[in-house]
C-alpha cells in the first residue's frame, strides 16, 4: 500500500485517554442512547473522529458502528453527512434517532421533489445534525455543492466495503465517493464496515485517499453465535430441512425472530409461499418490491407481527433488530464476507443465536455463472465488440439490446455477459453510451390535428398544447416525419427540459407522439479500430475474476471443513483470536450430519410435512440454545414473564403511536430487565440497564403504569 495512506492496525484496541470532548460524548451517549459507556473499539473511534482525523472502523455486526459517528455528530458543530447504501437502512436509523430527540433526516428516491426541497431547506437553516444520503444522489445535480456551502463538519461512509473493488457488494456509485468528498469541501471522514479482510481495508483507504487514518479493529469473533452447516443434495431437500428447523425454532422460542436468506427474488417468493403453506407465516423481501410494500414488510418484521422473513441480501444491511435468534442461508453466499455479515445479524443482543448454512454442491455453479457474467473473458468481449460493429450504421449508432447483441455475437454469449461487455468497452473508450442529461430529443407526431383538438383542451392540457405548438412551428409542417428539438428551448412555464420530457412522456402514453433523447443507445467511437487498440485493462479484469473465484472457493471450503468453523472464519479475516476449538459450532460440538436427501420427489410441493422419520434425525436439533458462547440471562419467573408480555404489548402500542420500530422504544433486553426488577418509581426504573434518561423521560410513566396494571 502507498505510503500516503499508512494503516496502523491493532486488534484488542486500547481505550483512548479522556478529554473534554470525549467526556461530552460519554454524557450524550448516556442521555440520548441510554448506554453508560462505549464498547471496546468505540472509544478509540469516537476519540479519533472528535480530533478531526480520518478514521477507518471495522467492528463486527452488532458492535455499534453507527454510534462511532452519531455521537460525535452531536458533539461537533455543524452538519454530519452520512452516505448510506440502502433506503431501509436510512429510514430505520433516522427513525431511531428522531425517537431519541436527535435532529436527523434522510434524502433518497422515496421522497417527492417537494419533500427533498423541504428537508434541504431545514439543513440550510441548521435544523438538522445528521443527514443520510444515498451515494447516487451526488451523481446528478448540485447536492454536494449545496451541502459544501452549508458546511459539512464530518463525512461518514457506512458499509464502506462497497467502495472496494474487492468488496462483496461492489457498487459503482461508491467508487465516486472520493470525488464527492472533495466536492463537499474535503471534511474529515470516517468509513465503517463489519466485513473487511486486510486486502479490502487497504483498498478502502486507497480509494478514499484517507490521510494517515486511525484504523480501529476489534475482534471479529461473535462468541454468542453457533455456526452450523447442514449438507443437502438439492433444493427439495433444503425445503424439508428448512421447514423442520423453523418449526423447532418457533416451538422452543417464545420470542425473537428468524431470517432466511435466499439468492434470488424468485426463490424468495417461492420459499415464503412454502413456509406459509406449512403454517409458518413468512413474508418475502427483495429489491423488486415497490417502496411501500418493502416498508410494510420491514415494519411487520421489526414489530414482530411476522417472526420469519425470507430475503435477498437487500435486507438487513444496517437493520438494528437485536433479537434475531436464527439466520438460515438457503443458498451458499458467494463470499465469506457476505456470509459473516448476514449471519451476524443474529444475536445482536449478545444472547445465544444460531447461523445455519443449508449447503448443496450445485450452489457453486450459480455463483460461477454470475461471476463470469459480471467479468466476462476477453474472447467474450471481443465477440460482443464484433457484434456491435456488425450492427452499427454508418454513423456508428447501434440500435440493439443486450439480448440482441448476445444473439448476434459468435459463440455462446449470455445477455448478462453482453451487458458487462458493453460496460467494459465503454470504460475503455471504444463505445459511447448516451448521457442521460442531454436535452436534444427526436420527436415525431403521431396524432392527427383533429384528434389533438378533440382530446386536448386549454384548461386541462395547456402545457402540452404549448409544447406541441412550439414543436409544430419548428417542424414547419413536417412534424409527422420527426424533428430534432432542443428541449431547453421549451416555451415558458413548461419547466425547462425536465418539464418538457415529462409532458412528452404523457403524450407518448396517449400515443400522440413518439420521442427519445437524441443519441440514446450505443455509439461506436471508431468502428475501424481493432479491439486490441483500445486501452482496456485485461489483466485487471482477470485479477478481479480470479479474486472472486478465490472468495467463492473459501466459502466452499468453510462448508466442507472438518475443523472448527469459527476458527476458519477468524483466520480468513486475519483475526489472531482464532483457536483450534470453539465448542460452539457443529464440528466442535461433534454433530455429524450425512447429506440430507428429500423424502420424495414431490416433497417440494408438500414441504410443510417435513422429512421421513429416518431422515428427520439428519437435520439435528439445531436451535439458538445449542450454542454455549455469549452472555446468558437467568430465566424469568412466572410473574416476570407476565410483566414481560404486558410490557411488549405496551411497547407495540407506543411504537405504532410513534411510527417507529418496537426496539426503538425499548429493546427486548431492557424489557426483560424491567420485568425482572419490577421497579416502583422512576428512580428505580432509571437503574435498569438500557433505559437511559431519554427513554425514562419519554416512556417511564407508561412503563410504571403498565407494571401496576399487571400487579393489580
Query: Among residues 486, 517, 548, which one ends one of the domains?
Result: 517
Q: Is the pLDDT of residue 205 over 70?
A: yes
Q: Are residues 426 and 445 in the same domain?
A: no
pLDDT of residue 242: 95
Looking at the fold, whether 26 and 148 belong to one and the same domain comes out as yes
**Per-residue pLDDT band at 587 (split at 50, 70, 90):** very high
Kindly state the average pLDDT of the residues 198-227.
87
Give the pLDDT of residue 314. 62
C-alpha cell at 548: 472472486
Evaluate if residue 15 carries a pLDDT over 50. no
Domain range holding 681? 638-711
Inter-axis angle of helices 538-560 and 363-374, nearest 10: 170
What is the band of 397 on the pLDDT scale with cuts at 50, 70, 90?
Answer: confident
The Cα–Cα gap between 390 and 404 comes to: 12
Confirm whether 12 is domain-assigned: no
What is the pLDDT, as a whole number, of residue 629?
47
The whole-angstrom separation of Cα 243 and Cα 384 is: 45
| 188 lies in some domain | yes
**H or E, element range at 261:** strand 257-261
Whether the Cβ atoms of residue 67 and residue 73 lie closer than 8 Å to each other: no
Tens digits of residue pLDDT in 594-638: 777 776 544 444 443 333 333 333 444 454 444 444 444 567 788
Average pLDDT over residues 228-238: 92
CA 571 to chain centre: 26
Alpha-carbon span 252 to 255, nearest angstrom: 9
Q: Measuring CA to CA, which residue among 698, 697, 686 is closest to residue 660? A: 698
Work out the end-to-end distance of the chain between its first and last CA atoms, rounded to an integer number of angstroms.
67
- Whether 325 and 249 map to the same domain: the answer is yes
Residues 208, 269 share a domain: no
pLDDT per position as a tens digit, 272-323: 999 999 999 999 988 788 878 877 888 888 888 899 999 987 665 546 688 8
Residue 549 has phi, psi (to 5 degrees) of: -65, -35
Q: Are residues 596 and 689 in the same domain?
A: no
Residues 256 and 107 in one domain: no
Claim to verify: residue 86 and residue 138 sit in the same structural domain = yes
For residue 440, the cross-strand partners are 486
CA atoms of 527 and 5, how far apart (whole Å): 42
- Say which residue, 15 or 534, is predicted with more confidence: 534
The verdict on 46 and 135 lying in the same domain is: yes
C-alpha dist (Å) from residue 91 to 29, 55, 81, 157, 566: 21, 25, 15, 16, 33
**pLDDT tens track for 507-561:** 998 899 988 775 566 878 788 889 998 889 899 889 888 888 999 999 999 999 9
Domain C-terminal end among 172, 193, 217: 217
Q: Number of structural domains, the chain? A: 5
- DSSP category for residue 13: P
Q: Is 679 helix (H, G, I), strand (E, B) or coil?
A: coil
In this prediction, what percent of the chain has a pLDDT beyond 70? 87
> Does some domain include residue 29?
yes
Kindly state whether residues 177 and 65 are assigned to the same domain: yes
Q: Which residues of 464-489 are buried (b: 16+ CB within 10 A; e: fewer)?
A: bbbbbebbbeebeeebeeebebebee
Amino acid at each position: 500500500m502507498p505510503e500516503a495512506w499508512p494503516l496502523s492496525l491493532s486488534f484488542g484496541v486500547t481505550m483512548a485517554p479522556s478529554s473534554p470532548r470525549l467526556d461530552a460524548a460519554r454524557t450524550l451517549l448516556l442521555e440520548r442512547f441510554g448506554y453508560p459507556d462505549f464498547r471496546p473499539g468505540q472509544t478509540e473511534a469516537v476519540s479519533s473522529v472528535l480530533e478531526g482525523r480520518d478514521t477507518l472502523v471495522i467492528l463486527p455486526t452488532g458492535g455499534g458502528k453507527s454510534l462511532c459517528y452519531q455521537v460525535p455528530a452531536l458533539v461537533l458543530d455543524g452538519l454530519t453527512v452520512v452516505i448510506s447504501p440502502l433506503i431501509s437502512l436510512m429510514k430505520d436509523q433516522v427513525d431511531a434517532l428522531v425517537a431519541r430527540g436527535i435532529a436527523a433526516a434522510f434524502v433518497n428516491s422515496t421522497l417527492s421533489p417537494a419533500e427533498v426541497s423541504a428537508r434541504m431547506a431545514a439543513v440550510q437553516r441548521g435544523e438538522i445534525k445528521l443527514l443520510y444520503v444515498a451515494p447516487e444522489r451526488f451523481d446528478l445535480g448540485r447536492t454536494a455543492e449545496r451541502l459544501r456551502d452549508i458546511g459539512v463538519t464530518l463525512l461518514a461512509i457506512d458499509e464502506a466495503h462497497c467502495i472496494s473493488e474487492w468488496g462483496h457488494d461492489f457498487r459503482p456509485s461508491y467508487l465516486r465517493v472520493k470525488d464527492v468528498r472533495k466536492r463537499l469541501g474535503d471534511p474529515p471522514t470516517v468509513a465503517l464496515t463489519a466485513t473487511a479482510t486486510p486486502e479490502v481495508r487497504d483498498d478502502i483507504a486507497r480509494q478514499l485517499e484517507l490521510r494517515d487514518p486511525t484504523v480501529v479493529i476489534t475482534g471479529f469473533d461473535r462468541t454468542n453465535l453457533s455456526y452450523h452447516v447442514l449438507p443437502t443434495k438439492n433444493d427439495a431437500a433444503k425445503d424439508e430441512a428448512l421447514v423442520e428447523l423453523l418449526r423447532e425454532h418457533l416451538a422452543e422460542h417464545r420470542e425473537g425472530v428468524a431470517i432466511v436468506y435466499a439468492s434470488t427474488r424468485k426463490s424468495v417468493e417461492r420459499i415464503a409461499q412454502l413456509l406459509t403453506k406449512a403454517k409458518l407465516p413468512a413474508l418475502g423481501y427483495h429489491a423488486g418490491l415497490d417502496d411501500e410494500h418493502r416498508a410494510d414488510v420491514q415494519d411487520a418484521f421489526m414489530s414482530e407481527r411476522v417472526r420469519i422473513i425470507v430475503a435477498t441480501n437487500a435486507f438487513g444491511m444496517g437493520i438494528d433488530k437485536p433479537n434475531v435468534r436464527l439466520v438460515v442461508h438457503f443458498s451458499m453466499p458467494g463470499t465469506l464476507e457476505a456470509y459473516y455479515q448476514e449471519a451476524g445479524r443474529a444475536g445482536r443482543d449478545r444472547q445465544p443465536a444460531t447461523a445455519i448454512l443449508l449447503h448443496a454442491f450445485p450452489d457453486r455453479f450459480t455463483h460461477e455463472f454470475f461471476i463470469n457474467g459480471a467479468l466476462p473473458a476477453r474472447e467474450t468481449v471481443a465477440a460482443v465488440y464484433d457484434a456491435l460493429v456488425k450492427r452499427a450504421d454508418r454513423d456508428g449508432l447501434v440500435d440493439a439490446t443486450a439480448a440482441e447483441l448476445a444473439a448476434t455475437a459468435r459463440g455462446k454469449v449470455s445477455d448478462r455477459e453482453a451487458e458487462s461487455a458493453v460496460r467494459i468497452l465503454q470504460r475503455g473508450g471504444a463505445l459511447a453510451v448516451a448521457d442521460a442529461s442531454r436535452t436534444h430529443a427526436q420527436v415525431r407526431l403521431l396524432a392527427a390535428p383533429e384528434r389533438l383538438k378533440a382530446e386536448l383542451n386549454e384548461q386541462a392540457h395547456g402545457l402540452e398544447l404549448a409544447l406541441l405548438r412550439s414543436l409544430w412551428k419548428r417542424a414547419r409542417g413536417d412534424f409527422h416525419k420527426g424533428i430534432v428539438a432542443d428541449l431547453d428551448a421549451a416555451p415558458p412555464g413548461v419547466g425547462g427540459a425536465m418539464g418538457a420530457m415529462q409532458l412528452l412522456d404523457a403524450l407518448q402514453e396517449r400515443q400522440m407522439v413518439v420521442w427519445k433523447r437524441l443519441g440514446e443507445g450505443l455509439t461506436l467511437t471508431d468502428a475501424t479500430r481493432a479491439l486490441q487498440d483500445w486501452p482496456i485493462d485485461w489483466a485487471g479484469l482477470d485479477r478481479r475474476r480470479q479474486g472472486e473465484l478465490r472468495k467463492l472457493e473459501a466459502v466452499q471450503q468453510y462448508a466442507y471443513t472438518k475443523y472448527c468453523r469459527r476458527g476458519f472464519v477468524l483466520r480468513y479475516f486475519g483475526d489472531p483470536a482464532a483457536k483450534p476449538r470453539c465448542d460452539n459450532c457443529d464440528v466442535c460440538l461433534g454433530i455429524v450430519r450425512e447429506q440430507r436427501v428429500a423424502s420424495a420427489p414431490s416433497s417440494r410441493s408438500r414441504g410443510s410435512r417435513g422429512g421421513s422419520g429416518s431422515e428427520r434425525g439428519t437435520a439435528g436439533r439445531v436451535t439458538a440454545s445449542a450454542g454455549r458462547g455469549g452472555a446468558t440471562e437467568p430465566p424469568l419467573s412466572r410473574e416476570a414473564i407476565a410483566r414481560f408480555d404486558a410490557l411488549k404489548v405496551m411497547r407495540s402500542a407506543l411504537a405504532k403511536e410513534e411510527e417507529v420500530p418496537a426496539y426503538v422504544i425499548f429493546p427486548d433486553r431492557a424489557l426483560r430487565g424491567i420485568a425482572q426488577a419490577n421497579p416502583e418509581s422512576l428512580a428505580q426504573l432509571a437503574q435498569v440497564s438500557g433505559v437511559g434518561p431519554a427513554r425514562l423521560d419519554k416512556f417511564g410513566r407508561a412503563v410504571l403504569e403498565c407494571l401496576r396494571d399487571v400487579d393489580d
